[in-house]
Each structure stands twice: as structure tokens, then as C-alpha cells.
Chains A and B, each alone.
Chain A
Amino acid sequence: EVQLVETGGGLVQPGRSLKLSCVASGFTFNNYWMSWTRQAPGKGLEWVASITNSGGSTYYPDSVKGRFTISRDNAQNTLYLQMNSLRSEDTATYYCTRELGAYWGQGVMVTVSS
């Protein structure tokens, strides 16, 4: 059974940093692209970042480019999202997904507020 478990969320002040982790199990992690998608409270879904199976290439929308960094450790079956220079509009539940949404984690809440 595919499982994706996110951790690392919480309350952070604007301008500060936070790093999310996602531990994957139930599939061969290094065979798949991985992504992060977020959902602001009461809003729709927004793609945040993707990474190839080797980690050699990464992709971001303009809204987070230069502030967020996606990475992975294939030996540890773990996906990461380093979020810097956080803004109030980054407040959301962040989901780890396999590929572009084939499987989703339970999500982790990030609140950016002073």
C-alpha cells in the first residue's frame, strides 16, 4: 500500500523558513517523480513543486520560484520542501504527492503569521 506521511508543519513568522518532509513507503521511491501541492484554507489546489526521480531536475511555479526548494533522499525514501522567505499567502495545507497526484499524503498545515 502506498503511504506518504508529511511532517514539519507549524506556525512561522513572515520572512522565516520551514522545511517539510515526506516519508514514502509501499513503492519503489526512486522510480517516481514526486511533487508538493498546497491548499489554502477554504480554497482550491495549487501545485508547488516537482522533482524528477533522480533529483536531477526540479520545477516550480512563479509564485514560489526562488523561495522554495524541493529535494529528495532516495536512500531514505524521503521528499523535502525547504520554504524560505515565507509570506502570509503561503499559509496552506501542504500535500506530498507521487508524480503529479497519483497518490496524496494526509497533508501538513503551515501557518505564516506574526
Chain B
Amino acid sequence: DIVMTQTPLSLSVAIGQSASISCKSSQSLKYSDGKTYLNWVFQSPGQSPKRLIYQVSKLDSGVPDRFSGTGSETDFTLKISRVEAEDLGVYYCCQGSYSPLTFGSGTKLEIK
């Protein structure tokens, strides 16, 4: 199984500052069709998860452009510029390139 390693496990960021979360996979996530199925999923406290980004860098509908995803092969990053209070919660990376689908352990974002 592909292991997804997220760092840091938690971070505290002031409103208006930026945040960055790293996700590393144990093997390349580039699939045979040339696409890389790396998603970022966000879960605010007490709520269902919500996908923010798919295929490394494509924003889901309604996701503010303060969020961006970059990376390739095994190294990926989620960046949040200008953090807002509503960004508080847990962020998970998730690979869908190879079965079984696997998630990172999550990064908890707190507002300083």
C-alpha cells in the first residue's frame, strides 16, 4: 500500500498569514494515463470532509483561490495564503492513483 506522510501534524497560523502543508507518498503517484491523482481534503470541526483540490492543483468549485496545490511524483504541497478563521480544521492529502486509496494522517490547522 502507498503510505502518505504529512508534515507538520499541526500548525498555528495568524489570520492573514500563509500556511504550507507537505505530503510525501511512498511511491510515485503518476498513473499510467499520465495523470497524478493526489487530492487535498479539508474537515472543519464537527463537519463532513470536503475536497478542496484534485489532481495535484485543480481547485474544486467554490474553493477560494487562496488555496493552491503543487507537486509531482512523490512530493506535494498545499499552500493557503492569507489564512482566514474559517480555514481552521484538519487537512488530509489522499492518493487515488493506486488501490487501495490511502490518506495522510492529517494536519491540524489552528488559528493563532
Residues of chain A having any CB pair with chain B under 8 Å: 35, 37, 44-47, 50, 59-62, 95, 100-107
Contact A95 B48 (CB under 8 A): yes
B49 at the interface (CB under 8 A from A): yes
Q: Is B39 an interface residue (CB 8 A)?
A: yes
Asked if A50 contacts B101 (CB within 8 A), the reply is yes
Shortest distance from the beta carbon of B102 to any chain A beta carbon, whole Å? 7
Which residues of chain B have a CB within 8 Å of any CB of chain A?
1, 37, 39, 41, 48-51, 54, 60, 92, 94, 96, 99-106
* A106 and B48 within 8 A (CB): yes
CA distance A18 to B102 in the complex (A): 24
Q: List 25 A-B contacts (CB under 8 A).
A: A44-B92, A44-B103, A44-B104, A44-B105, A44-B106, A45-B103, A45-B106, A47-B100, A47-B102, A59-B99, A59-B100, A61-B99, A61-B100, A61-B101, A95-B48, A100-B37, A100-B94, A100-B96, A101-B49, A101-B94, A102-B60, A104-B49, A104-B51, A106-B48, A107-B48
